Structure 1
């Protein structure tokens, strides 16, 4: 498909915890209709190392520079995986953004708790979002039916990942954008704004829940397209 822009054509999308890549469908459809080549990573949520490896496999398949996008926990993943030479820009979608040497858990320190975002942890150390709190905590602006489907199809995460330090921070060297849902009950709003500001991201706020990739796909897609058109092409 021909495109009307001169810029980066490849987009790689990384989902977060308690979800899988299918939630990116509305964003995928909007971007592919504009001529972008979109690939969705299915991270296993078993360890930071495993999630980075899954993302790197997809980045290796790109035929040129790419914009790497992460939602929530996916932000930690792209922070490390984004050092790949095929990555020209980063987009954080209500996402975590640790620095090198920091753990994901450290990002929460000093910020308000989120009582509606309740994680039930099993004896094996994997966590699911609480069924009764799922909609208000994760998907408050989706229909009851859509929120129920996300709840019933959620993917658990190995909770130990939050204590694993990041070795590299790609946002220190690559242009960065952020989309923040201002009605996100998974994170304290001040925490989201602090992380995005610290990494020097161009910030777009949108009234949305944590599931903004589904509820606000136009805004999310527009920011990704802006990143693709403006990120410096740093790969040869």
Structure 2
């Protein structure tokens, strides 16, 4: 009888424990259960269109203060293969687990280069996140076109964002003086860059995090939500323009720290 009683008590405790785990899992963000990553000491940050590597200047000091080695890639913005190669060269210099972070267009680069052996986790900041071989332009057209698209101007094959669209639709929650400095240093992109397609999707094999910008006028926020959900990313929503990495650097840095195993 005593043995039967002890057995019943043990089974009950096991059942309660499993129920508690199940209940807790419903409180976790999408993909959080699978987000077990090695602790990383390196972060590689990639910029997108209408920008250069300095767009990470607000985030980098916050990562360095936590002991992380942060490197911003200077994306050539020429073709997708050349942009991926630039990121891969930086990744190859890292000496251990590395979080690869992409903003905006550079989500294409993160998706392609993220399979690199040094990459332990991916972070997308209001970024493109295509599947392997997917036509991102066709995907984007299934959602209402964001206002910034109309502000892109071309000089031959070289494109950039006009000043009015940059201030209103790209950097809308930044002080005007700061936004004008960012406008002045934007790196033009080559039209050929937009034709590139990823050949692999790193987010299918690497744990991923995503920061949706709810006030985004450059990528449709609902498209961001769709991509984040599809990849099973741990997702946060930031009340910010497309440039959350500048208007809310603490929030973005904290997300990166989580992906680095420090959250």
Name structure 1 gaps, 5 residues minimum. 1-5, 232-236
Cα shift at 1:110: 0.7
TM-score by length of 2: 0.83
Asked if the contact 1:66–1:86 (Cα under 8 Å) also holds between the matched residues in 2, the reply is yes
Q: Secondary structure at the match of 2:143?
A: coil
For 1:109, the equivalent position in structure 2 comes to 141
Match of 1:174 among 206, 210, 213: 206
Cα shift at 1:61: 0.3
Asked if the contact 1:71–1:95 (Cα under 8 Å) also holds between the matched residues in 2, the reply is yes
TM-score by length of 1: 0.92
Is it true that 1:185 corresponds to 2:217 in the alignment? yes
For 1:122, the equivalent position in structure 2 comes to 155
Alpha-carbon RMSD: 1.4
Cα shift at 1:96: 0.1
Q: Secondary structure at the match of 2:58?
A: helix
Is it true that 1:75 corresponds to 2:112 in the alignment? no
Q: Secondary structure at the match of 1:92?
A: strand
Is it true that 1:12 corresponds to 2:44 in the alignment? yes
Cα shift at 1:160: 2.4
How many angstroms apart in 1 are the aligned matches of 2:234 and 2:252? 13
**More helix per residue:** 2
List per-residue Cα deviations over 1:121-176 (Å, max 9, x = no partner): 221x2211011221111100100111101111111111222222110110000000
Name structure 2 gaps, 5 residues minimum. 1-37
Q: Secondary structure at the match of 2:115?
A: coil
Asked if the contact 1:76–1:104 (Cα under 8 Å) also holds between the matched residues in 2, the reply is no
Is it true that 1:213 corresponds to 2:242 in the alignment? no
Number of residue pairs the alignment of both structures matches = 225
Q: Relative to 1, partners in 2 of residues 1:52 and 1:116: Cα closer, same or farther, differing over 3 Å?
A: closer
List per-residue Cα deviations over 1:29-84 (Å, max 9, x = no partner): 00000111111111100010110000000000000010000000110011001010
Q: Which has the larger radius of gyration?
A: 2
How many angstroms apart in 1 are the aligned matches of 2:152 and 2:72? 25
How many angstroms apart in 2 are the aligned matches of 1:112 and 1:151? 25
Asked if the contact 2:123–2:256 (Cα under 8 Å) also holds between the matched residues in 1, the reply is yes
